[in-house]
Amino acid sequence: LSAAAEIPKEDGRPQWDNKFQYLLSCIGFAVGLGNVWRFPYLCQIHGGGAFLIPYFIALLFEGIPLLHLELALGQCLRKGSIGAWNTISPYLGGIGVGSWVVSILVSLYYNTVLTWVMWYFINSFQEPLPWSVCPLNENRTGFNEECYESTAVNYFWYRKTLNITPDIAESGTLQWWLILCLATCWAIVYLCTIRGIETTGKAIYVTAIFPYLVLTIFLIQGLTLPGATEGLIYLFTPNLNTLKNPRVWLDAATQIFFSLSLAFGGLIAFASYNPTKNDCEKDAVTVAIVNSMTSLYASIPVFSVLGFKATTAYWDCLDRNIISIINEFDLPEESIMRQNYTSWISFLNSSYPEKISVLKLKSCDLQEFLDQSVSGTGLAFIVFTQAIILMPGSQAWAILFFIMLFSLGLSSMFGNIEGVFTPLLELQIIPKSAPKELLSGIICLISFLIALCFTLGSGSYWIDIFDRYAASVPLLVIAFFEVIGVMYIYKIKRFSKDVEWMTGRKLSIYWQITWRFMSPLLLLIVFLAFVTLQMQKPPSYTAWNPKYEGFPMKEEKVYPPWVQAICVLLAALPCVCVPLVALFHLVKQKRRSKDPSFVLPEVFSCQGANS
């Protein structure tokens, strides 16, 4: 692993067909499900338009510099994450190994989310949509009890899709329909990544561009729906008071960081297939800006649809009240309309208060319906599916929506798999004569077998755990070490010379300041704040328990100790790779230094090898 291997110009490394493919792959990797279901939620709960201020500050001082760093690193060293960090210094090889482990963990659970999307997709071809009606109970006298007490949409998600158990300790059985969909998803991933970037480069044209088309269609449709404007106003009305809450700044920083898919090693892998004389600075800025613009663009149709749903729920509430009033007072049909409801109610309250109180009317408040904010899988599979039922031509909308989610997730999966695939290819796990298809096949097969755990009854609880612990803290740690490693061990002077050689211009002061001070500082603060917040309360989860008294509210439960141990393991495993590998090399060095024939590794330089 000595750096004496000078990289020849013709090293037989696969290349991107064109620059556009590379940019699309990076954009596709960065733009994922989080842009659709996390950013709008954050905008909503953190004061609407005001959230954009901390968001763009974080983008400027944390997102773009780190992105540029990773792309420049991969492009210069022309290796995947493990190889690249080993080349910089064997002591830093642990960073690459940590990235690789995180990529594996995330690939496992991310594809299961895509499995759920696929399940909903193939169920969207029915008329009526299966999540719009409750099934009947055994003796056909009424609806299924669990479905009746919650909603049909909730029932379809928790019972028909997940078949969820009431507790994480109860594993339940493997759900065969989910296994079929999981196999299909991994087959699709294998089909697209079968030869590395040769095949993903072709697939990315579809999976990266298609979501934008669908978002535009949803935008046009969403804006024509009644109540869309209420939703949009609610979303974008800035409430500058929220900026005083440090939680908002933390959420902005973490959102930018996770949204750009930094520290996975996938970006390094993508950039390593570039020719070295490529303007990585412009690429980084382009990818970051497109990612943020996509988040904004996606939040418009999402909030139009949510506004539509809230308005429809509000109207339903009003209509139910109106029917009961008309029935009670025997008033002619259409005497009370939604518009004059409030005046009628005040009139009736003053004249016949006892009759009104008997009716037990629910108070209908549009704000209350708009306030029901959800993020994550709840947004896509519960709230949005409910809104789609209300739209005319719901099958088409459902199909479009789920294909869009699938493409978004698939293009992110390409980056994850590339982060696993490229280092393995370079470590030459399989002999060189064996085809690449074999390695990608092995990766997909093993991942499929391990991911079968997520198709158990308690699978979605485990996915939440993976999402919260494996894909959050380790990434922050790895990114922090990345910046420190490049700036202070590889040394900023060498790196700026390399970047100048690659881009052809001098490194501006903005990069110097952010790389050296602002980004590591921000990462440290975010990491500490994140960990402190997590430690404040014992880790808990909400379980779907039909036997709970407060059903259909979810039951708040605490993780049992063995699950907590697994959480800690997941978070610690990638982080611990960094010091472990450094220690391993230290020991090796001590042993080697006793050997007189030991030769010091040569100093590696990006431009020196390629000039």
Partner 1 sequence: YAWDANEEYLFKAMMAFAMRRYSSKSTTQISNVLLCNVTDRVSFWFVVTDSSKNVTTVPGSEVEAAIRMNRNRINSAFLLSDKTLQFLKITSTISPPVEPSTPVWLIVFGVVLCLIVAGIVFLIFSGIQKHKKKNKEATERENLEEKVEVTLENGIPCEALDLKTGRINGVFAADDERFTSL
How many other C-beta atoms lie within 10 A of the C-beta of residue 538?
8
Query: Residue 157: which of 188, 184, 130, 187 has the closest Cα?
Result: 130
Task: Judge whether 545 is annotated as a binding position.
Answer: no
Q: Which is closer to partner 1, CB of 76 or CB of 398?
A: 398
Minimum gap (Å) between residue 394 Cβ and partner 1: 15
Nearer to partner 1 among residue 333 and residue 595 (C-beta): 333
Return the number of the residue (375 or 385) whose C-beta is nearest partner 1.
Answer: 385
Give, to the nearest 10 degrees, the angle between helix 19-30 and helix 197-224.
60
Closest CA to 355 of 374, 327, 396: 327
Is 143 or 551 the residue whose CB approaches partner 1 more closely?
143
**In the complex, what is the shortest distance from the CB of residue 516 to partner 1, in angstroms, rounded to a whole number?**
46
- Nearer of residues 5 and 191 to partner 1, judged by Cβ: 191
Minimum CB separation from partner 1 for residue 330, in Å?
A: 4
Structure tokens at 568: 């800690």
- CA–CA distance, 156 with 174 (Å, rounded to integer): 17
**With helix as H, strand as E and coil as C, how does 67-120 read?**
HHHHHHHHHHHCCCHHHHHHHHCHHHHHHHHHHHHHHHHHHHHHHHHHHHHHHH
Count CB atoms within 10 A of the CB of residue 438. Answer: 12
**What per-residue string of b and e applies to 28-49 under the rule 16 or more CB within 10 Å gives b?**
bbbbbbbbbbbbbbbbbbbbbe
CB of 22 to partner 1, least distance (A): 22
Compare residues 143 and 548 and give the one whose CB is closer to partner 1.
143
Amino acid at the residue 30: A
Q: Check: CB of residue 63 under 8 Å from CB of residue 260.
A: yes
Residues 1, 77: contact at Cβ < 8 Å?
A: no
CB of 9 to partner 1, least distance (A): 21
Identify whether the C-beta of residue 466 lies closer than 8 Å to the C-beta of residue 110.
no
As measured in angstroms, the least distance from the Cβ of 127 to partner 1 is 9
| d(C-alpha 291, C-alpha 157), whole Å | 30
Q: Which is nearer to partner 1, 161 or 610 (CB)?
A: 161
Q: How far apart are CA 67 and CA 73, in angstroms?
A: 10
Nearest to 197 by CA among 499, 411, 502: 411
- Least distance (Å) between residue 5 CB and partner 1: 24
The H or E element containing residue 485 is none
User: Which residue lies nearer to partner 1 by CB, 82 or 188?
Assistant: 188
Smallest separation (angstroms) from partner 1 to the CB of 213: 20
Closer to partner 1 by Cβ: residue 143 or 344: 143
What tokens does 486 get?
A: 């490049």
- Considering beta carbons, is residue 125 or 347 the nearer one to partner 1? 125
The answer to whether 408 is a known ligand-binding residue is yes
Q: Which is nearer to partner 1, 437 or 464 (CB)?
A: 437
Tell me if 163 is assigned to a ligand binding site.
no
CB of 322 to partner 1, least distance (A): 12
How far apart, in whole angstroms, are the C-alpha atoms of residue 161 and residue 112? 12
Decide: residue 167, CB within 10 A, 0-12 exposed, 13-18 middle, 19+ buried.
middle
Closest CA to 80 of 439, 509, 505, 461: 439
Q: Please report how close the Cβ of residue 1 comes to partner 1 at its closest, in angstroms.
A: 30
Q: Which residue ranges make up the site for partner 1 (CB under 8 A)? A: 119, 122-123, 125-126, 128, 133, 135-136, 140-143, 180-181, 184, 187-188, 190-191, 194-195, 199, 326-327, 330-333, 435, 437
User: Binding site annotation covers 142?
Assistant: no
Nearer to partner 1, 297 or 344 (CB): 344
d(Cα 132, Cα 155) in Å, to the nearest integer?
10
Q: Residue 35 is which amino acid? A: N
Q: How far is the CB of 181 from partner 1 (least distance, A)?
A: 7
Please, which residues bridge with residue 556 across strands? Answer: 542
Give CB contacts under 8 A, 24+ apart, made by 502-509. 502/72, 502/75, 502/76, 502/276, 502/277, 502/278, 502/279, 502/280, 502/606, 502/607, 503/278, 503/279, 503/280, 503/281, 503/282, 504/277, 504/279, 505/281
**CB 130, min distance to partner 1, A:** 8
Q: Which residues pair with 541 in a beta bridge?
A: 557
Q: Which two tokens stand for residue 371?
A: 């306030």
* DSSP assigned state of 167: S
Q: In b/e form, how buried is each residue of 498-522, taking b as 16+ CB within 10 angstroms?
A: bbebbbeeebeeebeebbbebbbeb
Q: Is 18 annotated as a binding residue?
A: no
Residue 35 annotated as lining a ligand binding site: yes
Q: Which residues are annotated as a binding site for Na(+)?
A: 28, 30-31, 35, 259, 291, 408, 412
Q: Which residues are annotated as a binding site?
A: 28, 30-31, 35, 259, 291, 408, 412
